[in-house]
Amino acid sequence: MDLGAPASYLTLNEGTPVFSCNGERIGVVEHVLADANVDVFDGLVIDCRLGPGGHRFVDAPQVAEIYEQGVELTLNAREAEQLHEPSENPASMSADPDDVTPDHLGDKLRRAWQVISGNY
């Protein structure tokens, strides 16, 4: 599978095919979640209607490589089926007062929902 030369998230277009680490097409790019002003890539929202169905959030560390004609994930097809669906209020875990770790995944899922729903 030749996906072209390596590329940047800045050049990634809606509709670009997304593949598992073993080369199975699992969906297409729906939205790129990033802040280009500070050069931070948060991840992707992918449309998996051809795969597990619906929109799924791919966190930046799960993106192995971005090419001119496709995106390769670090996940196999089965793992990709378990990706979180963006939601307005992503599931939260309980925390005690000593837990001061920010909820980065929850924040990313919320931003993904805002982009999908047009509330950004």
In a domain, 85, yes or no: yes
In a domain, 4, yes or no: no
pLDDT at residue number 76:
95
Q: Domain containing 66 — which CATH number?
A: 2.30.30.240
In a domain, 60, yes or no: yes
Interatomic CA distance for residues 2 and 7, integer angstroms = 13
- For the chain, the domain total comes to 1
Two tokens, residue 7: 């590329």
Interatomic CA distance for residues 108 and 43, integer angstroms = 8
Q: What is the pLDDT along the chain (120 residues), one digit of tens a residue?
A: 799 999 999 999 999 999 999 999 999 999 999 887 888 899 999 998 765 568 999 999 999 999 999 999 999 999 998 998 887 654 444 444 444 455 566 677 677 767 766 765
pLDDT at residue number 95:
47
What letter does residue 79 receive in the DSSP assignment? H
